[in-house]
Structures are given as structure tokens and as C-alpha cells.
Amino acid sequence: MPKTLVIAEKPSVGKDLSRVLPGPFQKHTGTQDKTERWLEGPEHIVTWAVGHLVQLADPDEYDEKYKKWRMADLPIVPKTFKLVVRDERSQKQMAVVKKLLRDDDVDLVVNACDAGREGELIFAYLFEQAKAKKPVKRLWLSSMTNDAMREALANLRDSEETAKLEQAARSRSEADWIVGMNATRAATIRLRSSFDGAVSLGRVQTPTLAIIARRDEEIRAFVPEDYWLVDATFATADGRRYEGRYQDLTKKSDKPRIASAELAQAVVDAVSGQSGSITKLTKTEQKTIPPLLYDLTSLQRDANTRHGFSARRTLAAAQRCYEEHKALTYPRTNSKYLTTDMVPELKDIVGHVGRHDEYSAAAAYVSSLDLLPLERVVNNEKVGDHHAIIPTNSPHKLEKMSSDDRRIYDMVVRRFLAIFHPEAVFENTKIETTVFEHQFRTSGKVLIVPGWRGVYGEIPEGDKTSAEEDEGRDQSLPKLEQGEAVDTKKVESAAKQTKPPRRYTDASLLGAMEGAGKLVDDEELREAMTETGIGTPATRAAIIERLIDVGYTERDGRALVATEKGLNVIRLLDNHPLTSPSLTGDWEHRLAAIEGGTETRKKFMEDIAKFAGETVGVLDTTLKDVRIPRANLGPCPVCGHDIIENRKGYSCWAREDPGCGFVIWKGKAGKQLPPAIARELIATGVTAKQVTGFKGRSGRSFRAKLALQQSEDGKWRVEFDEAWAKEGAKPPEGEDETTPPAAGAVTASGAAKEAIAAVAKESGDKKGTEAA
């Protein structure tokens, strides 16, 4: 009997589909291991791609000469792109998929990869690599309810309906390969005397680096200015007290900053011990609506702000909650909405989470509603590949979750319950107190109706800007009346300085990447980026980690700081289009036109080849004679000669002067030690704090203190200054996935990698970018 082969993007989706297809299904494992590879029923065979099994081949697959990086060979623009299976793990699953595609019993193939551009690409590459010829139908699915899956399976689309989407997907992938590959090679060739390893460039990572680097340049150029604030404590006749901050009414800005210590002291002297009155008191009601459901980016931003999680750490936890615990829905989504077919399940989901004590009260309220408020929750038009992240309609075993998984689960559950609660209502009080002609302002805020905030209890309002901090804190105020007389009990001035812009954290950088369209001047291109920004929700975490891996950025606590290498790359590129999000805007605009049939793939790719050639020419010219000065770390502790940075380390020897041979090698357990760490080791012999980002043999990271030690033969070495190292034990592994960074931990930049294939796929490869 002929069978239909269904190819999903991941095992979990394949297994979900098997629930609604005619069964029973028999599990099949690979011949070399016990990994489940496919399911077979009476009418269907279900297997999966496990993300991108197939990728574009590296240049040396086209010609052996490309193994050497030479400017004369650029630009590299294949007439026809070659495909290769990604890695050993992918080889095993690909062998199964290829075998099933060639099975004589299979007469129809269903593309059940994710509904979107990248899902189309995953299947197209897989199908092409397998040299399959069988007819294909498209399953278009954005909701995983049983009813939605049954309806989609009953209404399979002809492959011709998504042919233009496939063209756009291939165009995006090949364009990223052409631009990333050629720009990286050109920059690396011209800067090899200045930088160790590849100078990795790409359409997504380079504008992201530019965002960080330009903020760091602003901070470096920032010149603080002194100012003063004056605070007073007032009391009524019967002892009710409150605080006020002086406002300089002579300035148009109406801000509390005073320009000099003398002027501030004059205010203090004028009002000290004097009487005044409450000249204005207003009370207003403020209502706040619950936040929308989580998409991946908003979840990552919130987890970074609340728990200090990196974007990658949040994604890993959300993925475990989805795949292992079956407690959360698919996390790699850019939608904050649900589809109409999910409405019947919502109260069942509330019932599941309400079985846990910490959510029972909030869940009971939602369950008691006759009609759920769905206006802001359900919107089919705003659900693309996947709906918002919510709890699943199944029992959730919280005791089996790790600390990270539990925190991410908690955030999603509370956000899900909160959106069905009413507005929170605050009473805001504003007071103006006048002593002679001097005016002081006071603000107070009281929560009257908890509404959705009751789901969270006390939650922080978020970081305030410097200007908001100047306005003073919200107080819990006593009962006060306009016109009341008050006495000035205490008054003092405080010296302050203006602060530079804040460095980017994972949270703020994710927001900048998501909203990068705001940085684009052209209205059409800005509109094209409305739904995308830089990268995708699935790839942004990987982009941040790649910038760290190639040595462009490092972590300082929660802050992301551009290294000298990263700053120099952006400085040298100047305002090249690669540094601007407008390049992504242009591509998205044209890719959408390819999907809509108003632009041809051929014309787009011709323009990409032209752009790559122009970029190579610009980099060849502008970087040809660039020599970036190496860091001077001061005198050698042995011979007194200057220790100078070179490509491999920091040493006192050079061609002109051999020095004494003292050297600190940069490479240490998969990390490149930056000048700051070497300088500290030379000065004190040890690092005061742990350095993060070393890699164990398994590839997982750890942190450790370092010490500079001299061996019996007189050679100097950098060793781990930890108890486990002295005992000859293995380093602790995987801490970056389970615990937040130690306070004040120092991050050393990663060794630069020639990750060319990863560069090419940086903006769209859901699985590949994580592995890169």
C-alpha cells in the first residue's frame, strides 16, 4: 500500500503530528545508535530534519585553490551553489531521510517544516541534497492544537503555492553566504598583520557589533558635568513628614539640577529652618494594562533584566521546557498573540498551572471568568510561523525542572495568567511646597487596585534614566492638604555628575536588534524591517555569543563591552553599508517582493554579486596599508624591556631586541587573554577575580582565577589559580548554563574563528547559528 512521507522540522513536531494521523505508529531507531529516527503507521511515515541538516558548501568545495585566502580570488560567486550535510550528527539523520525519500512504498512527500521562509529552506535543501523526485505537498501550520493539525493535514497546499517563498529563502541564504564569505576573507587578508585569526563580517553580526561599538565610543567620549541637587524634609504642625526636591523655576528645562555649589548652598541657607506651605496638591488615577504574551525576544530581555540570564541561557532553558518537560510551547517565535483555534484550550491550560500553589489564586480568578478577555490575546493576522509562548495543555512536573528552567517557566506562566486580569490602578500624588520663592516637588504612588500586578506581587518598575533619578523617588505619603503650613526640618545639597549612556546588556541589545528599523532613514526600508529587525528571534542569542567568540565583545557583569578588536573593526569599516541595519532593510524589502512576485530572484542575486564585488574592492583599498598599534603593557618584570602585544602573546622580545624571553601566551583553554588580564598578571602575578569563558574538553565553559608562575627551568606560564587545578582535577563545567555570572567576573574575549559557514547563515539558520 502506498504511503505518505511527512518530514517535520524537529522530532517533537513529528511526534505531535503522529497523534492525529491514522495509527498505530511504530518507532524506528538508527542502525548505529538507539536514537529515534522515524515513525511508521499504516498510511504515513513521519520523520524530521532536526533543524538544518544541509548547508551551503564552503568555497574549497568548488575549487581547491580557495583553501588559501587570496585577494586575487575574490569575489567568490558560485554560478550554482553546492550543498553539504552539516556534521556527523546530521549525517545520521540525513541518511534516514534519504532512505525514506527513495522508498518505493512512498508516493507522496509532505513538507511539514515550520510555516515560514526558513522552514521552506530547510526542506528545499534537504530534498535537493537527497536528489528526490517525488511529488510534494505543503503542510502550513502555525498552531499545534489537535484540531489545527487535523485541519492543516486535510488541506495540504500544492508546492507551487510556496515556490516564491522558497525562492526568497534561497536568495537570503545565498546572499548571506556571498556577502559574509567575501567580506570576511577580504578583511582578514588585509588585516592579518594586525589581528590574529579571521576578521568575521556579515549582514547581521556587523551592524550588531556597530551598535555596541558606537555606544562604547559615546561612553569613551563622554565628559561628565558637575551639578547639585537640594533635598528638604518638611513637617506639618502635628508631625506628618515628607520629602521634597528643589526645582529651579528660573530655568526653561524645569529640572532640579543646580549649576554650582554656591547656588545650591544659597538655596540651603535661604530655606533652612524656615516655614512654607503646600501650594499645590493634585491626585490622579493611573491605569496600566497587562503586558502582552511573550515572544522569544521579550522573554530573553525580561530574563536578562530580572535574573541576569544571557539570551543564550534563556533560550536553552525555554527549549528544555519545550522539548524535555513539555511544559511550554515552541519558544523560537516572534509573535505575542494566539490563534482563534486555541481559545477552547485556554481554560484547560489555566487549570493545569493552577494545580501548583504559587499560581492557584491567579488561576482561580481566570477560571471564574465567564468570558475571557481575548481582544488583546487572539489575533490570527499577527501569528506567523508560531504563536506566543504559553504553558502547554498538559500536566507540568515542576520538580523535574532545573533552577533555570523553573525561572523561565515561572515567567511565562505569570505573563499568561496576567493577561486575563484587569488593569492595575494607581493613585499618583504630586505636591509643590513653597518656602519663600523656592519651590520643592514631591511625588507619591499608591497601588489601589492590584489587578494584573497581583499575579506578580511586588515587581520592579525597571531602571530609571538619570533624568528620572533627578526627579526623586516615589514616596509613601501621609494624608496632606493643599494650603497646609509646613516647617523645613532638614535641608542639604548633594554634588552629582552627569552619567554617560548605559552600556548594552543582553536585554537592551536584543531590544536594539529587534527595533533596528528605527535607525533606518528610508521609510520603505524601515517598514520592511517592522516585523524583523536585525536577525530573527531564533538567531539573535547566537549572534551575541558569536561576537564574544570571535573576540569583538566581552561581558563585564551584565554589560556587553566592545573589545579593542571590535572597536577597530567598526572604525576601519567607517560607514560601510555592512555596519548599517539599512542593508537588512533593503534585503527584507526585496525578499518580500520576491515572495510577492514583483521582483525576480535573478535580479536580486545579480545585485548581491555586484555588492560583494564592490565591498571587496572597498576593503582592499581602505585596509591595504592599515597597521593597528599593538598594546604596550609596560616594563618586563625580569629585564625591564617594554612588553608588547603580538599576534600570539605579550612579550619583551622583538626582532630588533630579543629581550629576556619573558612571554604570556594569549591562548588559554580556548580563550584569548586580552591586554587587561595580561597587564594585571604582570603587575600582581594573579587575577583578583575569576576570568570567564574558558572551555573544557567537552566544549562547555568555566571560569577561574589565573596566576603567573615560573617553572624550575625559568620559563613563565599562566596557570589556573584554583583548588581543583592544584589538585590536578578537571575544571567545573557548564556553569554559564546553570548559574548567573559571579559579581564582577572578568570576561576575556574568545579566540577568533574562521567560522565562514556560520557567517553565511547568521540571519536565518535556526539551528546552525546556535552551533556556530
What are the angstrom distances between the C-alpha of 763 and each of 167, 172, 203, 207, 737? 16, 9, 8, 12, 23
pLDDT of 705 reads 93
In three-state secondary structure terms, 215 is helix
- Adjacent-strand bridge partners of 656: none
pLDDT of 743 reads 31
Rg (the chain; Cα; Å):
30
C-alpha dihedral, 529 to 533 to 536 to 542, nearest 10° = 150
Residue 482 to residue 722: CA distance in whole angstroms? 64
Q: What is the mean pLDDT of the chain?
A: 87
Q: Phi/psi class of residue 462: alpha, beta or left (left: φ > 0; alpha: ψ in -120 to 50)?
A: left
pLDDT of 334 reads 87
Listed as ranges, residues in the chain with pLDDT below 70 are 32, 251-254, 458-472, 517-532, 654-655, 693, 698-701, 733-772
Is 330 one of the annotated active-site residues of the chain?
Answer: yes
pLDDT tens across 358-414, in order?
999 999 999 999 999 999 999 998 887 789 999 999 999 999 999 999 999 999 999
pLDDT tens across 410-443, in order?
999 999 999 999 999 999 999 999 999 999 999 9
pLDDT of 772 reads 28
pLDDT tens across 183-216, in order?
999 999 999 877 877 899 999 999 999 999 999 9
Closest CA to 358 of 456, 447, 461, 460: 456
In three-state secondary structure terms, 98 is helix
Contact 2, 106 (CB under 8 A): yes
| Percent of the chain residues past pLDDT 70, beyond the cut | 89
pLDDT tens across 26-51, in order?
999 877 677 889 999 999 999 999 87
pLDDT tens across 582-610, in order?
888 888 889 989 999 999 999 999 999 99
CA 416 vs. chain centroid, Å, equals 22
Contact 435, 271 (CB under 8 A): yes
What is the value of pTM for the model shown? 0.82
Where does 110-162 have alpha helices with state H?
117-129, 146-154
pLDDT of 711 reads 82
Closest CA to 493 of 257, 273, 249, 264: 264
Closest CA to 417 of 483, 373, 468: 373
Where does 496-600 have alpha helices with state H?
506-514, 523-528, 540-549, 564-573, 582-596
The C-alpha angle with vertex 202 and arms to 196 and 206, in degrees rounded to 5, equals 80
Q: Which of 294, 330, 359, 504 is catalytic?
A: 330
- b/e map of 117-128 (b: 16 or more CB within 10 Å)? bbbbbbbbbbbe
pLDDT of 251 reads 66
pLDDT of 39 reads 96
pLDDT of 766 reads 41
The C-alpha angle with vertex 589 and arms to 583 and 592, in degrees rounded to 5, equals 135
| Percent of the chain residues past pLDDT 90, beyond the cut | 63
Residue 329 to residue 338: CA distance in whole angstroms? 11
Q: Say which residue the cell 604570556 belongs to.
A: 664
